[in-house]
Structure formats: structure tokens, C-alpha cells
């Protein structure tokens, strides 16, 4: 049956090629061959790709560019060995290779002259890729992330954007408190840190959940490794990472150096001493352990995505449950930080152009990769197969409810469906090309702007349809307001999002210190929270961390951030 399906799919693909206009193929000698090597990563289905209409389309388009594109791949379990061997020996290399390698190996390839820089390719761009990847271009972040210490843009990385953002942010997170318990006990919404602790105590002492046990409590991550899942850390202006970028100062630092750190530890200890916070509760965002704790209907406050906080209500099993966002200021004069989702996510792994590539052909491909046609093909597939366009100009899937086998049997599916992201570049530039009702969505400056847009109005209408109480609408508006950063500064937890490529020396420093330093920071944090170490002696403990290279490691990250930002 599988063989029959493959034959059928091939027939469909060939028929589709003929129906697309019967282009006249250039002879082989008129084409420039470009070879690509990737691997069958994750949910990729590279073995089926040549039998698909998606494959036929990309082959037609690249031949129209004068390029004979040859795609090859290895299976995921063979990838690491295959790539290591080929790079070491210089045998069986492709013109474009997807490389998941460490920074030292990448630097060695550069030193050995094995790579063609993206800069060299962009000299031949028709302006499409060169515009997006210019130092002030829409996707300068890709340039900055792939730039070496010599200032050369060496490697391209994939990216994923949301269809819209507010000042670069596409999501926000908040602490949620049980509004239904406040109402039940006639308590006001807390406005200070002390009031928050008192409210948690009142929940417990007055049996807010009515089970007669007095088990009500808050649930927040209290382990350094889970700091990013602790919304209360933001109340003290903390960066939610052991080492990261402080949005209040735009400098790399450690959470131990920040002005709000001592107050945060004191706050945690106060809740623990009051019996309304357990250090055994990890309080991560998505784990089944966290969900199971919420399902006990005794969590008076926790942390989650602002717009989706209503899903925490549903987990409690209590039809009256009503978590509502709350934001407090832990330190006077210090702006709280709010965790956000940055709209432009840069994938790990490099699309490296090797020294063998024809730079003019590479430029044609790079320009093509940044077009709307390639974006649509990679993301949605082909019109008539995978989607249709309605009277408003919006894409509607034609394969909803289909299994992967169904899609493969028809020879349908998008480029991403077959390739994942480890072959041809995945540049999911929704913020550039996504439209709704013919209106470009993209970047908004204020919450009011997105609310007034056709796209925003559609989202709110769907919220109203799903939830007549209006809570979903209210949460979405609060999330948009947070992204506008009116009362706090947004914080990106993924440090890799804003760092340029490291030098060998920087890698050596990280390798030398990171393991022992990470362990020491984690131990210190836990010991301070538990009270096993005296917070008044923090300076002494910090001297011990400095002896383990803390300042050197921060210096490495600061230097990479400065290069990313173009700071000389």
C-alpha cells in the first residue's frame, strides 16, 4: 500500500507540474548546480518529499532562477557522526549545509576557509535578502546572531515570528490570584507585597476553598533553575535567569547583583514562614506536576500566560474559579520586569554556505528564500492543495482533520511539513507577510492599535463567542497592555536571542567556569531561600562566586551582547 501511495503521489506531483504552466526546463549546462545537505530532523518526512507537489514547486522555482537544486539528507541518528566526519575530512560536503555544531567547530571552519560568508553572498543580492538582513533591516537580529568577532556575517539561522507584535513582543505572563476567593471573603485586591502575603494567609485561615483542611497556598518556582517561571521575581525587577539582560539597565548581570534580590529572598521566606508557600512545589508553567497541584483547588496564586489564564480556572475543577492578573512593585523606585515572548525567535543550527558555492547562485537562492511565495509555500503549502483563499483574502486549510499519512498519500503538504527546519532554510516571516482581510498585521505600537485592527477585532470576537462572561476578552486586552510596557519592562528569558557568535577565547572561559559556577549559584540561591545561609552575608558569598569566574562569565555575555547590538 505504501509503495502504491508513493507512486500515486508522484503521479499527482508530475501532473501538477504540467498544470502549472508547462515551463520549458533549461538544459543541464545552462543551470548552476547547488547542493544542499540536511537531515531528517524531528517530524521531518524527507523520504516522501520528492513525491510531493511541494517538491515539484520548489524545483520549478529554482530552475527558473537558473539553479539545479540537489537536496540530500541523512537520518537523524546518523547526523552527528556524518557531519563531524565530513567536516573533518572535507569529503562529501555540500554547497549549503545545515550544521548543528558548537561554536569552536564553527570558528575552525571559518579559520580553515571552508565557509563563504553571508556578507559575500549579499553583495550579489537583488535587494530582497540584503534589505531584510541589513544592519537596520527588519531581520537584523539574524545578521547579529550570525556575526563573528571580526564583524563578518558568517552564517544564516532560521527564524519564526508571530503574525503580530506590539513593540516586538507577542505574548506576556502574569501572576494570577483567585478573584473568586477575594470576593468570597470580601477581601480587596492586594496592592502591596505585605498585603499579598496577608491575603494568602487569609485564604488559608478562612478556608477559601471550603474543604475544611486549611491547605490554601501560593505556588511559585523557588529553584534558581526555574526562576523564569516565578512571576513574583519580576515584582522585584529581577531578570528571571541566573545571568541575563537587565531591561532596566540594558546590561548583562546576575540576579545576585540586582537591587531587588535581597527583597525577593525576604519575600519568599516570609511566605514560607507564614506557611503559604512550599519550597517543594516547583511551580513551572506547563508540567503535569504543576497542573496536578492546581487541580487540588488549593492554589490561591500562581503564574501563567496572561491571555490564557482562564485555562488555569478550568484545571481547578471548581466552576467558580477565577484567576485574575495581579502586578505589584516589590522595591520602591525599581520598575518591575514582566516576562514576555519576543516576536522574533532565532532557531539553533546554521545554514552554512560552504566555500564551494557559486555566490551569484547563492544570492538568487537567498533572495528567493525571503520572498512571500517561499514563506507561504514553506508555512502553508500550495493553493488548491493545502489551502484555499476565501472572499476576504484569507487562507483556509483544505486538510484540516487529515492525518500525516493522508497528506502524504495525496502528495500535498507544505515545505516545512516535509523538511522540518534542517534542510532548506525555514524563514517563517509571518510579521512581514501575514495578512487578515487583506490588511497587513505586523507590528503595532500600542495595545489600542492592535485592538482597533481587523485582526485584533477578530480575535476579540472569537473570545466573546467562546466566553460570554467577557473574561477571555479582558485577559487578552491585559496581555496586549503588558506588551506595551506601560507599568513594567518586558524581559526575554532566552539569552541566546540577543548574543552574537562567541570567539574561541570566550568559549574557553564559559567552558572553564560554567559547570562549577552554575552549581554554586544554584546552591547559594537555595540555601538563601531555605535560610541555611545568612542573607546579611551575601557579599561574602558573592566573593566566592567571583572566585569561580562570575564576573568573567558576565563579561563574555556582555561582549557578545555588545557585538549583537553593534556597540564598538
How do residues 32-44 score in pLDDT, each as one tens digit? 999 999 999 877 8
If you average pLDDT over residues 414-418, what whole number do you get? 96
Report percent pLDDT > 90 for the chain. 87
Q: 83 by DSSP, 3-state: which?
A: helix
Q: For residue 18, what pLDDT is reported?
A: 37
Q: For residue 225, what pLDDT is reported?
A: 85
Q: For residue 27, what pLDDT is reported?
A: 60
Closest to 139 in 3D by CA, of 150, 120, 153:
153
Q: For residue 125, what pLDDT is reported?
A: 98
Please give the Cα distance from 65 to 124 (Å, whole number).
Answer: 14
Contact (CB, 8 A) for 92 and 78:
no
Q: For residue 5, what pLDDT is reported?
A: 40
- pLDDT score of 432 more than 60: yes
- pLDDT score of 7 more than 50: no
If you average pLDDT over residues 398-418, what whole number do you get? 97
Q: For residue 16, what pLDDT is reported?
A: 45
If you average pLDDT over residues 118-134, what whole number do you get? 98
Q: 173 by DSSP, 3-state: which?
A: strand
- pLDDT score of 20 more than 90: no
Q: For residue 568, what pLDDT is reported?
A: 64
Q: Which domains does the chain have, with CATH numbers?
A: 2-159+347-424 (3.40.190.10), 170-342+492-565 (3.40.190.10)
Report percent pLDDT > 70 for the chain. 95
Please give the Cα distance from 231 to 22 (Å, whole number).
Answer: 58
Q: Going by C-beta distance under 8 Å and a sequence separation of 6 or more, which residues neighbour residue 421? A: 41, 42, 158, 347, 349
pLDDT confidence tier of residue 564, bands split at 50, 70 and 90:
very high
- pLDDT score of 8 more than 60: no
DSSP 445: S
Tell if the pTM clears 0.95, that is, is over it. no
pLDDT confidence tier of residue 22, bands split at 50, 70 and 90:
very low
Each residue of 251-265: pLDDT tens digit?
999 999 999 999 999
If you average pLDDT over residues 387-403, what whole number do you get? 96
Q: For residue 26, what pLDDT is reported?
A: 53
If you average pLDDT over residues 508-515, what whole number do you get? 92
Q: For residue 232, what pLDDT is reported?
A: 95
Please give the Cα distance from 235 to 221 (Å, whole number).
Answer: 14
- pLDDT score of 457 more than 80: yes
Q: For residue 384, what pLDDT is reported?
A: 97
Q: For residue 497, what pLDDT is reported?
A: 87
Mean pLDDT for all residues in the chain: 92
Phi/psi region, residue 186 (left: phi>0; alpha: psi -120 to 50; beta: rest), is left
If you average pLDDT over residues 418-442, what whole number do you get? 95
Q: For residue 566, what pLDDT is reported?
A: 86
pLDDT confidence tier of residue 486, bands split at 50, 70 and 90:
confident
Q: Where are the beta strands (DSSP E) in 306-336?
A: 323-326
Per-state percent for the chain, helix, strand, coil, to nearest 5: 45, 15, 35
Each residue of 189-226: pLDDT tens digit?
999 999 999 999 999 999 999 999 999 999 999 888 88
pLDDT confidence tier of residue 514, bands split at 50, 70 and 90:
confident
Distances (CA, A) of 472 to 247, 299, 311, 324: 29, 21, 10, 11
Q: Are strands 489-491 and 337-342 parallel, antiparallel or unpaired?
A: parallel
If you average pLDDT over residues 521-545, what whole number do you get? 95
Amino acid at each position: 500500500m505504501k509503495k502504491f501511495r508513493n507512486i500515486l503521489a508522484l503521479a499527482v506531483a508530475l501532473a501538477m507540474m504540467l498544470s502549472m504552466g508547462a515551463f520549458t526546463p533549461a538544459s543541464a549546462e545552462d543551470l548552476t548546480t547547488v547542493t544542499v545537505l540536511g537531515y531528517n530532523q524531528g517530524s521531518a518526512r524527507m523520504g516522501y518529499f520528492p513525491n510531493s507537489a511541494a517538491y515539484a514547486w520548489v524545483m520549478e522555482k529554482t530552475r527558473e532562477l537558473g539553479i539545479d537544486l540537489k537536496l540530500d539528507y541523512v537520518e537523524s541518528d546518523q547526523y552527528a557522526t556524518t557531519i563531524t566526519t565530513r567536516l573533518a575530512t572535507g569529503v562529501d560536503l555540500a554547497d549549503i549545509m545545515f550544521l548543528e555544531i558548537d561554536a569552536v567547530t564553527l570558528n575552525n571552519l571559518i579559520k580553515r576557509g571552508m565557509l563563504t560568508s553571508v556578507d559575500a553572498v549579499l553583495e550579489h543580492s537583488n535587494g530582497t535578502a540584503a534589505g531584510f538582513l541589513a544592519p537596520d533591516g527588519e531581520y537584523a537580529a539574524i545578521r547579529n546572531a550570525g556575526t563573528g568577532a571580526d564583524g563578518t556575517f558568517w552564517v544564516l539561522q532560521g527564524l519564526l515570528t508571530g503574525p503580530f507584535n506590539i513593540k516586538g513582543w507577542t505574548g506576556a505572563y502574569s501572576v494570577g490570584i483567585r478573584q473568586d476567593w477575594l470576593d468570597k471573603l470580601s477581601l480587596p485586591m492586594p496592592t502591596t507585597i505585605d498585603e499579598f502575603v496577608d491575603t494568602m494567609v487569609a485564604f488559608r485561615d478562612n478556608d477559601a476553598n471550603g474543604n475544611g483542611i486549611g491547605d490554601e497556598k501560593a505556588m511559585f518556582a523557588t529553584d534558581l533553575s526555574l526562576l523564569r517561571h516565578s512571576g513574583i521575581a519580576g515584582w522585584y525587577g529581577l531578570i528571571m535567569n541566573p545571568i541575563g539582560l537587565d531591561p532596566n539597565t540594558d546590561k548583562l548581570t546576575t540576579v545576585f547583583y540586582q537591587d531587588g534580590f535581597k527583597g525577593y529572598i525576604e519575600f519568599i521566606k516570609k511566605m514560607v514562614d507564614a506557611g503559604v508557600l512550599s519550597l517543594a512545589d516547583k511551580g513551572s508553567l506547563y508540567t503535569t506536576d504543576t497542573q496536578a497541584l492546581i487541580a487540588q483547588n488549593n492554589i490561591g496564586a500562581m503564574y501563567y500566560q496572561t491571555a490564557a489564564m482562564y485555562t488555569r480556572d478550568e484545571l481547578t475543577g471548581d466552576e467558580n474559579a477565577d484567576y485574575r492578573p495581579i502586578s505589584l512593585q516589590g522595591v520602591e523606585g525599581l520598575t518591575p520586569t514582566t516576562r514576555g515572548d519576543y516576536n522574533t525567535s532565532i532557531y539553533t543550527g546554521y545554514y552554512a554556505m560552504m566555500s564551494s558555492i557559486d555566490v551569484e547562485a547563492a544570492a538568487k537562492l537567498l533572495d528567493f528564500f525571503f520572498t512571500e511565495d517561499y514563506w507561504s509555500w514553506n508555512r502553508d503549502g500550495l493553493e488548491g492543495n493545502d489551502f484555499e483563499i476565501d472572499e476576504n483574502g484569507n487562507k483556509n486549510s483544505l486538510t484540516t482533520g487529515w492525518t500525516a499519512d493522508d497528506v502524504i498519500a495525496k502528495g500535498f503538504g507544505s515545505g516545512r511539513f516535509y523538511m522540518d527546519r534542517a534542510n532548506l532554510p525555514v524563514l517563517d516571516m509571518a510579521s512581514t507577510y501575514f495578512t487578515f482581510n487583506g490588511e497587513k498585521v505586523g507590528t503595532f505600537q500600542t495595545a489600542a492599535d492592535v485592538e482597533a485592527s481587523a485582526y485584533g477585532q477578530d480575535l476579540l470576537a472569537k473570545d466573546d463567542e467562546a466566553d460570554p462572561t467577557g473574561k477571555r476578552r479582558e485577559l487578552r486586552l491585559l496581555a496586549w497592555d503588558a506588551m506595551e510596557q506601560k507599568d513594567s519592562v518586558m524581559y526575554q528569558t532566552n539569552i541566546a536571542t540577543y548574543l552574537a557568535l562567541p570567539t574561541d577565547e570566550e568559549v574557553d572561559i564559559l567552558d572553564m567556569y560554567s559547570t562549577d559556577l552554575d552549581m554554586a549559584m544554584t546552591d547559594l540561591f537555595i540555601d538563601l531561600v531555605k535560610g541555611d545561609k545568612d542573607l546579611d552575608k551575601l557579599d561574602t558569598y558573592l566573593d566566592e562566586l567571583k572566585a569561580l569566574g562570575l564576573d568573567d562569565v558576565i563579561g563574555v555575555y556582555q561582549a557578545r551582547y555588545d557585538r549583537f547590538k553593534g556597540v564598538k
